[in-house]
């Protein structure tokens, strides 16, 4: 367990929702020139017959936009920890072309990583039939229900909106740094519990020679850097494994307080996606949620996002739990397997 701070952690990611809701500084709207560069890069890739995942940053040149993306990458790493890019003209493109555009943009932010046991690099976020309260192998993003606050695996997670829901489906984010500081201020007795190891359910996507869970604290300070890893639901479902230690009262109360703060109006920032939006979040600094939603009856109009997760560089200076989780993700990429969902009757 890392040393517990007895003072607030100060950085630009220490923000609260109401402070940002009245501003649009965190939204970058693509210009006409930006879009022209994206279309030229897309045509370059298509003319050469390149396909995902063989498309590298060098195959997707963005002479001017790349400089703006570098600024956004810095904002994700050392700034607010999130951004929303607006204005990709998805109406112009078939889904496969939109995926290439998305892949090309994201190549400027890091190494694409497998996000499930199938080794999937770009996943389609759509609702499927099934109840994730009853089926441990269904992911929250595959449902229409409210998703509690959590962070995803890897350093960054990105979502690109192709189709919006009929109603609902708002994206909600909160700063893990601000939540940490509030718990330190108001309930320092619970902070120690959140620095302790938690056992997090792999939800059926573990390897046959490994544990069905991984271990990480909610909060850690490592070499001066802030790390958060929050997933209350998966910490709770991991309790079904007999080898997992029982959650302590402090851990249970601490997670509950974390969730309460993240959901509160005082901390939460809400976003209503538009078609062509790309949201990017730093998982070490930001937790996210989604409201429940009503979908369109027509299949072609139903809510549809593209999702990627990224590793942003050398993780040798990261804490052990981060390096271990990154190694697990990389193994997904080299040892893909059939999804458990595909075997369900």
What would the pLDDT profile of 212-223 be if each residue is shown by its tens digit? 999 999 999 999
What would the pLDDT profile of 90-122 be if each residue is shown by its tens digit? 999 999 999 999 999 999 999 999 999 999 999
Residue 137 has pLDDT above 60, yes or no: no
Element (H, E) at 333: helix 320-334
CA–CA separation, 75 and 25 (whole Å): 11
Q: Give the pLDDT of residue 145.
A: 81
Strand partners, 158: 280, 308
Average pLDDT over residues 235-247: 97
Residue 166 has pLDDT above 50, yes or no: yes
Q: Give the pLDDT of residue 133.
A: 53
Q: Give the pLDDT of residue 19.
A: 94
Confidence of residue 237 (pLDDT cuts 50, 70, 90): very high
Confidence of residue 344 (pLDDT cuts 50, 70, 90): very low
Residue 343 has pLDDT above 90, yes or no: no
Residue 333 has pLDDT above 50, yes or no: yes
Mean of per-residue pLDDT scores for the chain: 92
CB 132 within 8 A of CB 139: yes
The backbone region for 212, taken as left when phi is positive above 0, alpha when psi lies in -120 to 50, beta otherwise, is: alpha
Domains detected in the chain? 26-334 (3.60.130.10)
Average pLDDT over residues 12-38: 97
Tell me the two tokens of residue 285. 């600094």
Q: CA neighbours within 13 Å on the CB side: how many for 180?
A: 31
Residue 342 has pLDDT above 70, yes or no: no
Confidence of residue 345 (pLDDT cuts 50, 70, 90): very low
CA–CA separation, 20 and 269 (whole Å): 7
């Amino acid at each position: 367990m890392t040393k517990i701070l007895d003072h607030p952690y100060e950085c630009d990611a220490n923000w609260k929702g109401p402070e940002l809701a009245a501003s649009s500084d965190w939204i970058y709207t693509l210009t006409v020139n930006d879009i022209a560069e994206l279309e030229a890069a897309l045509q370059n890739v298509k003319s050469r017959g390149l396909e995902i995942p063989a498309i590298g940053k060098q195959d997707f040149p963005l002479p001017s936009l790349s400089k703006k993306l570098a600024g956004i990458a810095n904002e994700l790493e050392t700034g607010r920890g999130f951004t929303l890019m607006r204005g990709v003209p998805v109406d112009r493109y078939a889904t496969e072309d939109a995926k290439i555009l998305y892949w090309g943009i994201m190549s400027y932010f890091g190494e694409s990583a497998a996000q499930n046991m199938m080794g999937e690099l770009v996943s389609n976020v759509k609702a499927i039939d099934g109840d994730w309260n009853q089926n441990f192998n269904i992911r929250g993003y595959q449902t229409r229900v409210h998703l509690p606050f959590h962070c995803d695996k890897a350093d960054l997670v990105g979502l690109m909106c192709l189709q919006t829901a009929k109603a609902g489906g708002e994206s909600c984010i909160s700063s893990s740094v601000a939540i940490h500081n509030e718990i330190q201020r108001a309930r320092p007795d619970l902070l120690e519990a959140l620095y302790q190891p938690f056992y997090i359910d792999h939800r059926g996507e573990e390897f046959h020679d490994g544990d069905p869970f991984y271990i990480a604290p909610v909060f850690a300070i490592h070499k001066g850097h802030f790390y958060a890893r929050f997933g209350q639901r998966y910490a709770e479902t991991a309790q079904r494994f007999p080898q997992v230690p029982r959650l302590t009262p402090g851990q249970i109360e601490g997670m509950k307080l974390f969730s309460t703060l993240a959901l509160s109006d005082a901390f939460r920032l809400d976003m209503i996606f538009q078609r062509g939006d790309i949201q990017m979040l730093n998982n070490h600094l930001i937790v996210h949620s989604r409201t429940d939603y009503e979908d369109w009856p027509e299949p072609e109009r139903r809510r549809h996002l593209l999702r990627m997760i990224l590793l942003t560089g050398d993780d040798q200076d990261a804490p052990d739990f981060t390096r271990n989780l990154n190694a697990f993700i990389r193994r997904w990429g080299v040892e893909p397997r059939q999804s458990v969902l595909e075997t369900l009757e």
